Structure 1
Amino acid sequence: MKRILFVHNSIPDYRIPLFSKLANYPEFDCNFIIFGKYNVECKQKINCGLNSSKFEFIIFKKYSIIRIINNFLKIRKKIINGNYDMIIFDAPTYPEIMLLNLPLISKIFFKNCKPFVKIIWDEEFEWNKSFKRKIVLPLSKYLNKNADAILVPTKLHKKWQIKLNVDPKKIILFPNVTNIYKKYDEKKIKRICQKYGLNNKSIITYVGRLVPIKGVKFLIEAYFQLISENENLKKDTVLMIVGDGEDKNKLIKIAKKINEAGGNVIFTGHINNSDLSEYYEISKFGVVPSVNISGTSEAYGLVVNEFLVYGKPVLVSNVVGASALIVDNPEFGHIFKEKNIKDIKNNLKMLLDIDPKSYQIRSKIIQKNIKIYNNYEVNLEVIKNLALGE
């Protein structure tokens, strides 16, 4: 039986179903090293249906030379003792992962190890031009070129890898999948609508953290312009901001002028993932207005998948990785230029103007087509083909 090792930096909620399926897959033996700063929280998720015997955690709080050496040696020992046929590394953003992937280091430290297929799972794309990334990029480029395969979530990320001179034949689409499915409670929907006065309203929804990189202030300003130019939309629409974060109070101040002008912006605060279904279901469409700050932006944006699963179109800024889904599937929504309030406003108006019959048809198409991308079976098939050489 083929043995596979994942060296990954976290277990986000949406990856739990995939990792659980891989850990219990009958055709190969899959194990995991969960590595990085967030692993105390990750370790608590082992009770979420994951096979704990398949997971090993390397937890650290801060960088140090000693920490890098110790972690490198721990992972090296795991690799040598595990007798693996294939190892899938997270993108080499930590020094340990970089060292493990360097061809020269591999020759020295793994010379007595069984040869294994080396794969890098990389979700970076060209919008990430932070100072740290500029330093790491040349080495990352070298490592990716020397890997046996690169896993990327969309064609946009594939194009970026090709720009880095990675062989296109090595690049494999490995889509991100949401674990939030279409299961909602009508009674909960009724309570939410009563609480916020949402009945008979077209609800424009943002879901996510309230931090600068998410660009929510540009959405609020665009909505203000929209209702200022279209009096009827003050009563017929609501902008619902779902989430919490450091910018919340600033955003509430910005939104105050909308409420004073007769419009309606609602801040729900933090909502647990398990309770988001109802908020997606009552929305007319979603907006993901993320921006590029100091060279860093949204590598993917899984919330795009989440809206689409519910048949809701999405407006997405051009620096969101998941915008690639809309390029390939125009019915999924529209792409606007980041930080461009006028462009956001025009796209808001465009979706609000869709007649009910056309909207229903579009919603059904979205729900049907997103299954092609939002499907863990696609990921399993990719790993199976790589492991078994199919």
Structure 2
Amino acid sequence: MCEMSGGKLSVSMFGQKRLSREGGIEIVVKELCTRMVKNGCNITCYNQSGHHISGAEYDEKIEYDKICQKYVPTIEKKGLAAVSSSFFAALYSAFGKYDVVHIHAEGPAFFSWLPKIFGKKVIVTIHGIDWQREKWKSGFGSKFIRQGEKNAVKYADEIIVLSKGVQEYFKDEYGRETKFIPNGVNRPRSQKAELITNKYGLTKDSYILFLGRLVPEKGIRYLVEAYKNIKTDKKLVIAGGGSDTDSFIKELQSLAKDDDRILFTGFVQGQILDELYSNAYIYTLPSDLEGMPLSLLEAMSYGNCCLVSNIPECAEVVEDKALIFEKSNVQDLQNKLQEACDCVEKVMELKQQAADYICKKYNWDDVVKETMKLYRRKR
């Protein structure tokens, strides 16, 4: 049981938009919370108000048994949604009857001082060094997120990091010890190609898949440029929505317009998402920057051969169970894509190893167990 001396442990969580698939943070919070309530915790999630990042058609509010979801005031303008919602979430957490306040991401951690001064135990999970992301590299957003990182170092009782590289960064930059707890993954049931055949004309092993947020640091520019120069009848499917990156999406679509093999699906979820993962020939993540790439874990859990950049956050995950290219190197990515299309035997060999390997290495129950140890650790 997850208990303190006075009874059940009461936990507030914020930093997520809502319990959805809008990003890695949202998936992590959902996986943590649904398991923690089963372990006897009282969980309150302070979510952003307003529309889903990919449009009002995805605004469905999903209720989860025994998880209390509250929606805080949110200014729906670029750069202000996370700031405003995090402030109110921190305020409510500070005045609420919580034993632990668990904050996700560097920006929301700006307000970690607020629950701290009201005597709460504060945990911050760093999902990545967010101020390095292209959309936050200048202006107010960059300064706010960088200060959020510093406030986490100063005020958090415990800091969780998702990769060894980020753990080293906090040690070198701040002399701060952190706890390495990588994300987990669930073993899914593979799906036959049905909806994706009807909607997109896709069949088993007929396409290369990228699935994630359409943001510059994911390396999608390199992927489109490299793919346009390979000889294959396999399509390139780019699945995902933006994140205040409409101009970047238009740039990608312009880059791809002369190649009718390239398909943009927009944001996907549910059965279509499962089918896309289940039937890809290879999954590729050509990122320059990652925290802990959940989409990569998910892709491998479906038994995919994966092609990833050699950044530590990807290489640590796949070890020798995937194809790797030099980050930002379009020619190397092109060569690896062509080799994958030509060498079916190698691809099938990696497919056979992927699911068992990744599901054994990354387990959500282990993540929850280690996280709750930090909740209970004496200050």
CA deviations 1:8-61 (Å, max 9, x no partner) are 1223332434322223422x33333335776898x9665342435x23321211
Equivalent pair of 1:119/1:151 in contact (CA under 8 Å): yes
1:175 aligns with 2:183: yes
**Would you say the 8 A contact 1:141–1:164 is kept in 2?**
no
Q: Distance in 1 between matches of 2:376 and 2:316?
A: 29
Q: 2:348 aligns with which of 343, 360, 383?
A: 360
Q: 1:58 aligns with which of 72, 75, 81?
A: 72
**Alignment partners' CA distance in 1, 2:268 and 2:151:** 41
Residues 168-207 of structure 1 aligned to structure 2 (within 5 Å): 168=177, 170-175=178-183, 177=185, 181-185=188-192, 187-188=194-195, 191=198, 195-196=201-202, 198=203, 203-207=207-211
RMSD of equivalent CA atoms? 4.0
Q: Distance in 2 between matches of 1:70 and 1:224?
A: 41
**CA 1:354–1:25 in 2, change beyond 3 Å: closer, same or farther?**
same
Q: 1:276 aligns with which of 267, 273, 278?
A: 273
Cα contact 1:189–1:282 (8 A) shared by 2: no
For the residues of structure 1 that align with 2:207 and 2:85, how far apart are their CA atoms? 52
Return the alpha-carbon distance in structure 2 between the equivalents of residues 218 and 319 of structure 1. Answer: 15
Deviates more, 1:143-152 or 1:277-286: 143-152
Q: Distance in 1 between matches of 2:32 and 2:129?
A: 23
- TM-score, normalised relative to structure 2: 0.75
Aligned position for 1:254: 255
5+ residue gaps in structure 1? 228-232, 292-296
Percent same amino acid at aligned positions? 19
CA–CA distance in structure 2, aligned partners of residues 77 and 249 of structure 1: 39
In the alignment, does 2:44 pair up with 1:31? yes
1:303 paired to 2:295: yes
Shift of 1:359: 3.5
In the comparison of the two structures, how many residue pairs are matched? 350
Cα deviations across residues 108-162 of structure 1 (Å, max 9, x unaligned)?
Answer: xx2xxxx543211111228447233356425623532542211122223222222
The partner residue of 1:208 within 208, 212, 232 is 212
Structure-2 residue corresponding to 1:219: 223
Matches within 5 A, 1:61-72: 61=75
Counterpart amino acid of 1:385? K
Distance (whole Å) between structure 2 residues aligned to residue 367 and residue 287 of structure 1: 16
Q: Normalising to structure 1: TM-score of the pair?
A: 0.73
Q: Deviations over 1:265-285 (max 9, x none)?
A: 334454334311222222121
> Does the C-alpha gap of structure 1 residues 269 and 348 become closer, same or farther in structure 2, counting only changes over 3 Å?
same
Shift of the alpha carbon at 1:175?
A: 1.2
Higher helix share: 1
Structure 2 unaligned segments of length 5 or more: list them: 22-26
Provide the rounded CA distance (Å) in 2 between the counterparts of 1:313 and 1:212. Answer: 23
Deviation at 1:304, TM superposition (A): 1.3
Q: Is the 8 A contact 1:300 1:321 kept in 2?
A: yes
Distance, in Å, in 1 between the alignment partners of 2:107 and 2:49 is: 10
Residue deviations 1:290-310, cap 9 Å, x none? 45xxxxx54444321221111
Q: Shift of residue 98 of structure 1?
A: 4.2
One-letter code aligned to 1:87: V
- Pair 256,310 (structure 1): closer, same or farther in 2 beyond 3 Å: same
Q: Give the secondary-structure state (helix, strand or coil) at the position aligned to 1:60.
A: coil
Structure 2 equivalent of residue 317 of structure 1: 309
Q: 1:94 to 1:87 in 2, by over 3 A?
A: closer
Higher-Rg structure is 1
1:240 aligns with 2:237: yes
- Relative to structure 1, the CA distance from residue 133 to residue 160 in structure 2 (aligned partners, 3 Å threshold; closer, same or farther) is farther
The answer to whether the Cα contact below 8 Å between 1:33 and 1:58 also exists between their aligned partners in 2 is: yes
Q: Give the deviation of 1:75 after TM superposition.
A: 4.3
Counterpart check, 1:87 vs 2:101: yes
Shift of 1:222: 0.7
The equivalent of 2:166 in structure 1 is 157
